[in-house]
Structure 1
Amino acid sequence: MHGVAITGSGLFTPPEVITNDELVAAFNAYADRFNAAHADAIAAGEVAAKPQSSAEFIFNASGIERRHVMDKAGVLDPDRMCPRLDARPDDAPSIMAEMGVDACRKALDMAGVDPGAVDAVICAASNHERAYPAIAVEIQSLLGTSGFAFDMNVACSSATFGIQTAADMIRAGSIRRALVVNPEICSGHLEWRDRDCHFIFGDVATAVLLERDEGLSGPRYRILSTRCATQFSNNIRNNNGFLRRAHDQMEDRRDMQFMQEGRKVFKEVLPMVSAHIAGHMQDEGVTADSLKRLWLHQANKTMNDYIGKKVLGRTPERGEQPNILQDYANTSSAGSIIAFALHSGDLAPGDRGLICSFGAGYSVGSVIVERA
């Protein structure tokens, strides 16, 4: 069995930003128009009025202050409330591939590795732009990597499941290097007209380069252990599959977008994730006192604070469990990797940390690493 290390990470951040105040202004304008157009039905009790949102409500519910998106104008148009992501010609790069290539090149540059030396590309994401050909194969072509590539989807846990998949192949000796890339256009799968969730998601792409840990001398994170688990639940769901309705049928798209039973998710996922991490650490002989950093899935600040306290047995100190929600919102599979990319360079050799993502499925994946 070969050792495996993360030698590079990359982050693509869309330049357009939507603040809570901007989002609330657009949502409330939409709600006012809806209520005015359906005033008689609302008065008769046949239609529920759309409630107003507020920046305070959003922050208190999530810890989010802003989010990056691929198209701001479409989201903030009260008559539309979803991004305009025009279809591209078949001979043009897809949006996800462009985002992913940017993140991958940054990861390769950090590691000092030529794309041609990469044996596999795994595009692990919640929301794929198309069914086939695989986005990963397109990224492989644009980068000029060798070997093979494929897509995978385990919702918000896709990154950690992708890391385990790549690590297992490297451990077994079938490949030496792999890119795990997570381009997420979550804005296209969010119902921006639903007050309960209209603020949750943002767009981003992340990537990590995994290499066989032989003859490496640069800064890196050795992967000590990986673990994944799933348990079926309907409490987080998106029906945007082979029965997908046209995106422009604006009034007929609700079940084709992100949906969740938030209270049930909170109640059921937190114990599952906390127990998963605790079991993984115990089996690997990693104590809470020896863990320097938790890079958690960025779904909700309250959830992360709960998990951090359960894992460490106390309230995490500043920097021990970095949150990036306030700037990026929930970016599905990419969230924990954003936290890792932005908050891993300060650890000393021998320091250990844990990457964990969790979400629909239910699914949870954890990766224990050590700075080398």
Structure 2
Amino acid sequence: MTKAVISGTGLYTPPATIENEELVQAFNAYVDNHNRQYADEIASGARDALQPSAPEFIEKASGIKRRHVIDREGILDPERLCPIIPDRPNDEPSVQCDMSVAAAREALDQAGKSAADVDAVIVACSNMQRPYPAISVEVQAALGIDGFAYDVNVACSSATFGLQAAVNAVEQGSANAVLVISPEICSGHLNFRDRDSHFIFGDACTAILVEREDRVAPGKGYDVLGTRLKTQFSNNIRNNFGFLNRGDDAGVGAPDKLFVQQGRKVFKEVSPMVAETIQSHLASVDLAPSDLKRMWLHQANLNMNQLIARRVLGRDATIEEAPVILDEYANTSSAGSIIAFHLHNSDLSTGDLGVICSFGAGYSIGCVIIRKR
């Protein structure tokens, strides 16, 4: 049977950044304005006062120090606390298309391929700019790819779910090469007025090229040894915004129309599920956790990643074994594990084994075992 190989990866990083201190300054100005505006209601007990944030709180809770964003001015405006991303005319490329093309071109360059070598595009991310036409078809056209394309949304696991779809397409013969692209504009659905989550997300886009092994030069890329997906419904991470509840009358400004989570429940429930999924997936291909050289985990929370790695390995993982990009990028949803892979794989040797694993709302878990060729 034809086997699939990851032959290239790409990363688009927005140039604008926001440090924790800047974000906290804007959030606390909003808190001060809110508490002054509702001082009488707060004094009477009719309304709770908002609590300020702090850089130390953010880093301890998440491991995040800064984030890259599409727009920083709107986010850092205490009167707005929301990115300014203007609509574009229909005859101009969408923001997600521009991000995708940049990341895809790097992946193609790394693989030594061109758009003419690609048969399919899967755009897999948490939130699409529009329902249709599919962002993936727009990206396909922008790159000049002759084939097919479709969008995938499984929240923070979108990239690994898309990766499995690409592997299946290659191994079953419906495509010779597939681009999986994750243009995550997470700042657009983050509630920057919520102290418990205002710091979580950043923006980025990743791309992965998956090809037939006979099209990849010997010793180049990573063999895909197996993929595994798991879902289990939960309301503990949720975003209710959609075309059926658009407009002010539908309460678009309400907190549950943006990202909302019950963080402690997510930590407690998802961590063991992820560790068990990785362990059982390894066992299914006759591998043990001790065989792993590296784990590229979803970059949601430093404490969560450390716990998952400890459960998988039976000990604390070194920073080399479970690299972290949270401090620089924050949570970039499905792009996070792919950013970690893109930035931290060049030191591996032939035969080294690793696992790309993402997890998030759904609950959803995607696990991909790979081996350096």
User: Could you say which TM-score interval applies, normalised by the shorter chain?
Assistant: over 0.9
Distance change in 2, residues 1:238/1:353 (3 Å) = same
Match of 2:239 in 1: 238
Most deviating of 241-250 and 34-43:
241-250
1:318 is displaced (CA, Å) by: 3.0
| Counterparts of 1:214 and 1:151, CA distance in 2 | 27
1:343 corresponds to which residue? Answer: 344
Q: Deviations over 1:69-89 (max 9, x none)?
A: 000000000000000011100
Alpha-carbon distance between aligned partners in 1 of 2:191 and 2:31, rounded to the nearest angstrom: 13
Indicate conservation of the 8 Å contact 1:63/1:325, yes or no. yes
Equivalent residue runs for 1:91-106 within 5 Å: 91-106=91-106
1:213 is aligned to 2:213 = yes
Q: Distance in 2 between matches of 1:206 and 1:176?
A: 20
Aligned-pair distance for 1:287?
1.3
Where does structure 2 lack aligned partners over 5 or more consecutive residues?
none
Once the two structures are superposed, the pairs formed by residues 274-289 of structure 1 within 5 Å of their partners are: 274-289=275-290
Provide the rounded CA distance (Å) in 2 between the counterparts of 1:306 and 1:352.
Answer: 21
Answer yes or no: is the 8 Å Cα contact 1:4–1:222 preserved in 2. Answer: yes
1:231 and 1:28, CA in 2 relative to 1: closer, same or farther beyond 3 A? same
Q: Which moved more, 1:307-316 or 1:204-213?
A: 307-316
Q: Deviations over 1:171-216 (max 9, x none)?
A: 1111100000000000000000000000000000000000000152
Task: Assess if the C-alpha contact under 8 Å between 1:119 and 1:175 holds in 2.
Answer: yes
Amino acid in the other structure paired with 1:292: K
Q: Secondary structure at the match of 2:243?
A: coil
1:321 aligns with 2:325: no
Deviates more, 1:100-109 or 1:238-247: 238-247
Which digits, 9 at most, give the CA deviation of each residue in 1:302-328, with x for residues without a partner?
000001111111111231100000000
**Map of 1:122-161 to 2, 5 A cutoff?**
122-161=122-161
Q: What is the CA-CA distance between 1:251 and the residue it aligns to?
A: 8.2
What corresponds to 2:299 in structure 1? 298
Specify whether residues 239 and 319 from structure 1 end up closer, same or farther in structure 2 by C-alpha distance, changes over 3 A only.
Answer: same
**Structure 1 gap segments, 5+ residues each:** none
Equivalent position SS for 1:86: coil
CA distance in 1, matches of 2:231, 2:276: 13
CA contact (8 A) 1:18 1:69 kept: yes
Q: Who is 1:171 aligned against?
A: 171
Q: Under a length normalisation based on structure 1, what TM-score does the superposition of the two structures give?
A: 0.98
SS in 2 for 1:354: strand
1:1-372 equivalences in 2 (<5 Å): 1-217=1-217, 219-246=220-247, 252-372=253-373
Q: CA deviation at 1:44?
A: 1.2
Contact 1:183-1:204 at 8 Å conserved across structures? yes
User: Root-mean-square deviation (CA), in Å?
Assistant: 1.4
> Amino acid of the residue matched to residue 227 of structure 1?
R
1:242: how far off? 2.2
User: In the alignment, is the contact (CA less than 8 A) between 2:246 and 2:252 conserved in 1?
Assistant: no
Code of the residue aligned with 1:274 in structure 2: it is A
Q: TM-score scaled to structure 2, two decimals? A: 0.98
Shift in CA distance, 192/215, structure 1 to aligned 2, threshold 3 Å: closer
SS of the counterpart of 2:205?
Answer: strand
Measured in 1, the distance between the counterparts of 2:300 and 2:113 equals 32
Check the 8 A contact 1:68/1:202 in 2, yes or no.
yes
The Cα of 1:289 is off from its aligned counterpart by 1.8
Question: Percent identical across equivalent pairs?
Answer: 56
Number of equivalences: 372
The 3-state SS of whatever aligns with 2:98 is: helix
SS at match of 1:332: coil
